[in-house]
Amino acid sequence: MSIENAYNIWANQYDTNENRTRDLDKKSTIETLDKYEFENVLELGCGTGKNTNWLLKKANQIIGLDFSQEMLNKAKAKVSDKRVIFKKADLTEIWETENNFADLITCSLTLEHIKNLNHIFNQANLKLRKNGLFFISELHPFKQYSGSKAKYETENGTKELEVYIHHISEYIDDAKNNGLELVEMKEWFDENAKIGLPRLVSFVFKK
Ligand SMILES: C[S@@+](CC[C@H](N)C(=O)[O-])C[C@H]1O[C@@H](n2cnc3c(N)ncnc32)[C@H](O)[C@@H]1O
Protein backbone atom coordinates (compact mmCIF):
# COMPACT_ATOMS: atom_id res chain seq x y z
CA MET A 1 0.00 0.00 0.00
CA SER A 2 1.26 3.51 -0.76
CA ILE A 3 2.29 5.77 2.14
CA GLU A 4 -0.48 8.18 1.12
CA ASN A 5 -3.18 5.50 1.38
CA ALA A 6 -1.76 4.18 4.63
CA TYR A 7 -2.09 7.64 6.20
CA ASN A 8 -5.59 8.01 4.77
CA ILE A 9 -6.51 4.93 6.82
CA TRP A 10 -4.39 5.84 9.86
CA ALA A 11 -5.96 9.34 10.01
CA ASN A 12 -8.98 8.11 11.99
CA GLN A 13 -6.85 6.87 14.89
CA TYR A 14 -3.71 9.01 14.56
CA ASP A 15 -4.63 11.49 17.30
CA THR A 16 -6.19 9.02 19.71
CA ASN A 17 -4.05 5.85 19.74
CA GLU A 18 -1.22 5.48 22.22
CA ASN A 19 1.84 6.82 20.37
CA ARG A 20 4.93 7.83 22.33
CA THR A 21 6.71 9.08 19.20
CA ARG A 22 3.85 11.46 18.36
CA ASP A 23 3.69 12.74 21.95
CA LEU A 24 7.45 13.20 22.30
CA ASP A 25 7.50 15.10 19.01
CA LYS A 26 5.00 17.59 20.39
CA LYS A 27 7.30 18.15 23.38
CA SER A 28 10.41 18.49 21.16
CA THR A 29 8.58 20.94 18.88
CA ILE A 30 7.40 23.20 21.69
CA GLU A 31 10.56 23.07 23.77
CA THR A 32 12.79 23.76 20.77
CA LEU A 33 10.75 26.45 19.05
CA ASP A 34 9.52 28.33 22.10
CA LYS A 35 12.66 30.48 22.18
CA TYR A 36 12.44 31.58 18.52
CA GLU A 37 10.28 34.27 16.95
CA PHE A 38 8.53 33.53 13.66
CA GLU A 39 5.67 34.86 11.53
CA ASN A 40 5.32 32.87 8.32
CA VAL A 41 5.46 29.12 8.77
CA LEU A 42 5.53 26.26 6.27
CA GLU A 43 4.57 23.02 8.01
CA LEU A 44 5.73 19.99 6.02
CA GLY A 45 3.77 16.78 6.53
CA CYS A 46 1.39 18.67 8.81
CA GLY A 47 -0.80 15.57 9.21
CA THR A 48 -3.78 16.10 11.51
CA GLY A 49 -2.46 19.51 12.59
CA LYS A 50 -1.15 18.19 15.90
CA ASN A 51 1.44 20.98 16.14
CA THR A 52 -0.43 23.68 14.21
CA ASN A 53 -2.40 25.20 17.07
CA TRP A 54 0.79 25.68 19.10
CA LEU A 55 2.59 27.24 16.11
CA LEU A 56 -0.38 29.64 15.75
CA LYS A 57 0.42 31.12 19.17
CA LYS A 58 3.34 32.87 17.48
CA ALA A 59 2.72 32.75 13.74
CA ASN A 60 0.80 35.19 11.53
CA GLN A 61 0.41 32.75 8.68
CA ILE A 62 0.83 28.99 8.36
CA ILE A 63 0.75 26.85 5.25
CA GLY A 64 0.45 23.15 6.06
CA LEU A 65 1.39 20.69 3.30
CA ASP A 66 0.54 17.00 3.27
CA PHE A 67 -0.37 14.42 0.63
CA SER A 68 -2.95 12.55 2.71
CA GLN A 69 -6.41 14.06 2.18
CA GLU A 70 -7.78 12.27 5.26
CA MET A 71 -4.99 13.62 7.51
CA LEU A 72 -5.70 17.10 6.07
CA ASN A 73 -9.44 16.69 6.76
CA LYS A 74 -8.64 16.02 10.41
CA ALA A 75 -6.38 19.06 10.49
CA LYS A 76 -9.07 21.28 8.96
CA ALA A 77 -11.61 20.06 11.53
CA LYS A 78 -9.17 20.74 14.38
CA VAL A 79 -7.72 24.09 13.32
CA SER A 80 -10.13 26.65 12.00
CA ASP A 81 -8.30 29.94 11.77
CA LYS A 82 -8.05 32.24 8.77
CA ARG A 83 -4.27 32.46 9.29
CA VAL A 84 -3.91 28.77 8.32
CA ILE A 85 -4.14 27.13 4.92
CA PHE A 86 -3.89 23.36 4.56
CA LYS A 87 -2.89 22.20 1.08
CA LYS A 88 -2.62 18.78 -0.48
CA ALA A 89 0.93 18.40 -1.80
CA ASP A 90 3.55 15.72 -2.34
CA LEU A 91 6.82 16.88 -0.77
CA THR A 92 8.86 14.76 -3.17
CA GLU A 93 7.73 17.08 -5.98
CA ILE A 94 8.30 20.84 -6.45
CA TRP A 95 6.56 22.73 -3.61
CA GLU A 96 3.97 25.10 -5.09
CA THR A 97 4.38 27.88 -2.56
CA GLU A 98 5.95 31.30 -2.92
CA ASN A 99 9.75 31.47 -2.69
CA ASN A 100 11.15 33.36 0.35
CA PHE A 101 7.80 32.92 2.12
CA ALA A 102 8.84 31.32 5.39
CA ASP A 103 10.88 32.43 8.35
CA LEU A 104 10.23 28.99 9.81
CA ILE A 105 9.78 25.61 8.16
CA THR A 106 8.85 22.68 10.40
CA CYS A 107 8.87 19.00 9.58
CA SER A 108 7.89 16.40 12.17
CA LEU A 109 7.95 12.62 11.75
CA THR A 110 7.70 12.82 7.97
CA LEU A 111 11.21 12.44 6.54
CA GLU A 112 11.38 8.73 7.41
CA HIS A 113 8.96 8.31 4.46
CA ILE A 114 11.06 10.36 2.04
CA LYS A 115 14.11 8.84 0.40
CA ASN A 116 15.73 11.92 -1.09
CA LEU A 117 16.58 14.38 1.68
CA ASN A 118 18.57 16.52 -0.72
CA HIS A 119 15.34 17.47 -2.53
CA ILE A 120 13.74 18.51 0.77
CA PHE A 121 16.64 20.77 1.73
CA ASN A 122 16.80 22.19 -1.79
CA GLN A 123 13.12 23.18 -1.68
CA ALA A 124 13.42 24.40 1.92
CA ASN A 125 16.21 26.75 0.92
CA LEU A 126 14.02 28.25 -1.83
CA LYS A 127 11.04 28.78 0.49
CA LEU A 128 13.03 30.23 3.41
CA ARG A 129 13.90 33.86 3.83
CA LYS A 130 17.48 34.80 4.69
CA ASN A 131 18.13 33.81 8.34
CA GLY A 132 14.99 31.65 8.26
CA LEU A 133 14.96 28.44 10.33
CA PHE A 134 14.24 24.85 9.38
CA PHE A 135 13.16 22.68 12.33
CA ILE A 136 13.18 18.91 11.87
CA SER A 137 12.07 16.32 14.42
CA GLU A 138 12.34 12.68 13.40
CA LEU A 139 12.55 9.16 14.69
CA HIS A 140 16.21 8.72 15.71
CA PRO A 141 18.15 6.40 13.36
CA PHE A 142 19.29 4.36 16.43
CA LYS A 143 15.64 3.72 17.19
CA GLN A 144 15.06 2.75 13.57
CA TYR A 145 17.95 0.23 13.72
CA SER A 146 16.20 -1.32 16.73
CA GLY A 147 13.13 -1.94 14.53
CA SER A 148 10.92 1.08 15.30
CA LYS A 149 8.95 2.44 12.37
CA ALA A 150 5.68 4.25 11.71
CA LYS A 151 2.83 1.77 12.29
CA TYR A 152 -0.83 1.54 13.18
CA GLU A 153 -3.27 -1.17 14.23
CA THR A 154 -5.86 -2.72 11.92
CA GLU A 155 -8.40 -5.51 12.36
CA ASN A 156 -5.86 -7.80 10.70
CA GLY A 157 -2.94 -6.81 12.93
CA THR A 158 -0.23 -4.17 12.89
CA LYS A 159 0.38 -2.34 9.63
CA GLU A 160 3.96 -1.07 9.21
CA LEU A 161 4.72 1.69 6.71
CA GLU A 162 7.62 1.84 4.28
CA VAL A 163 10.46 3.86 5.79
CA TYR A 164 13.99 5.04 5.02
CA ILE A 165 16.81 5.44 7.53
CA HIS A 166 18.61 8.78 7.39
CA HIS A 167 21.87 9.03 9.31
CA ILE A 168 22.60 12.12 11.38
CA SER A 169 25.44 13.03 9.01
CA GLU A 170 23.06 12.80 6.02
CA TYR A 171 20.80 15.50 7.49
CA ILE A 172 23.74 17.76 8.28
CA ASP A 173 25.58 17.22 4.97
CA ASP A 174 22.49 17.61 2.78
CA ALA A 175 21.48 20.74 4.67
CA LYS A 176 24.97 22.21 4.25
CA ASN A 177 25.04 21.36 0.54
CA ASN A 178 21.84 23.40 0.20
CA GLY A 179 23.02 26.47 2.08
CA LEU A 180 21.63 25.63 5.53
CA GLU A 181 23.86 25.55 8.61
CA LEU A 182 23.23 23.62 11.82
CA VAL A 183 22.18 25.82 14.74
CA GLU A 184 21.18 23.13 17.25
CA MET A 185 20.63 19.42 17.52
CA LYS A 186 19.10 17.42 20.36
CA GLU A 187 18.32 13.79 21.15
CA TRP A 188 15.02 13.08 22.90
CA PHE A 189 14.47 10.15 25.25
CA ASP A 190 11.37 8.53 26.66
CA GLU A 191 10.69 9.67 30.20
CA ASN A 192 12.38 7.39 32.76
CA ALA A 193 14.46 5.77 30.02
CA LYS A 194 17.59 7.89 29.89
CA ILE A 195 19.79 4.79 29.53
CA GLY A 196 17.84 3.47 26.52
CA LEU A 197 18.02 4.56 22.91
CA PRO A 198 17.00 8.10 22.03
CA ARG A 199 13.54 8.03 20.41
CA LEU A 200 13.81 11.27 18.43
CA VAL A 201 16.44 13.57 17.02
CA SER A 202 15.73 17.23 16.33
CA PHE A 203 17.66 19.81 14.33
CA VAL A 204 17.38 23.52 13.76
CA PHE A 205 19.08 24.71 10.57
CA LYS A 206 19.45 28.32 9.47
CA LYS A 207 19.62 29.77 5.97
C1 LIG B 1 3.67 10.51 11.22
S2 LIG B 1 2.72 11.70 10.34
C3 LIG B 1 3.26 13.20 11.15
C4 LIG B 1 2.21 14.27 11.11
C5 LIG B 1 2.55 15.50 11.94
N6 LIG B 1 3.71 16.19 11.41
C7 LIG B 1 2.77 15.12 13.37
O8 LIG B 1 3.87 15.32 13.89
O9 LIG B 1 1.84 14.61 14.00
C10 LIG B 1 3.57 11.85 8.76
C11 LIG B 1 2.82 12.72 7.78
O12 LIG B 1 3.66 12.91 6.63
C13 LIG B 1 2.84 12.85 5.49
N14 LIG B 1 3.70 12.51 4.35
C15 LIG B 1 4.54 11.45 4.22
N16 LIG B 1 5.17 11.49 3.04
C17 LIG B 1 4.73 12.62 2.41
C18 LIG B 1 5.00 13.21 1.14
N19 LIG B 1 5.85 12.66 0.26
N20 LIG B 1 4.37 14.36 0.82
C21 LIG B 1 3.49 14.94 1.69
N22 LIG B 1 3.19 14.42 2.89
C23 LIG B 1 3.81 13.27 3.24
C24 LIG B 1 1.80 11.81 5.81
O25 LIG B 1 0.65 11.92 5.00
C26 LIG B 1 1.53 12.10 7.29
O27 LIG B 1 0.47 13.01 7.46
Task: Please provide the average confidence, as pLDDT, over all residues in the chain.
Answer: 94
Please name the residue whose Cα sits nearest to atom 1 of ligand 1. 109
| Residue 68 CB less than 6 A away from ligand 1 | yes
pLDDT at position 2: 87
SS3 letters across the chain: CCHHHHHHHHHHHHCCCCCHHHHHHHHHHHHHHCCCCCCEEEEECCCCCCCHHHHHCCCCEEEEEECCHHHHHHHHHHCCCCCEEEEECCCCCCCCCCCCCEEEEEEECCHHHCCCHHHHHHHHHHHEEEEEEEEEEEECHHHHHCCCCCEEEECCEEEECCCCCCCHHHHHHHHHHCCCEEEEEEEECCCCCCCCCCCEEEEEEEC
Please name the residue whose Cα sits nearest to atom 16 of ligand 1. 113
Percent of the chain exceeding pLDDT 70 equals: 98
pLDDT in tens, 22-55: 999 999 999 999 999 999 999 999 999 999 999 9
Query: Does residue 116 surpass a pLDDT of 80?
Result: yes
pLDDT at position 194: 63
Kindly give the distance from the C-alpha atom of residue 66 to the centroid of ligand 1, in angstroms, as a whole number.
6
pLDDT at position 156: 77
Domains of the chain: 3-206 (3.40.50.150)
205, 130, 131: which is closest to 173 by C-alpha?
Answer: 205
| Residue 162 CB less than 6 A away from ligand 1 | no
pLDDT in tens, 140-198: 999 999 877 777 777 777 777 778 999 999 999 999 999 999 999 999 999 877 668 99
- What φ, ψ does residue 153 adopt, rounded to 5°? -95, 140
pLDDT at position 153: 76
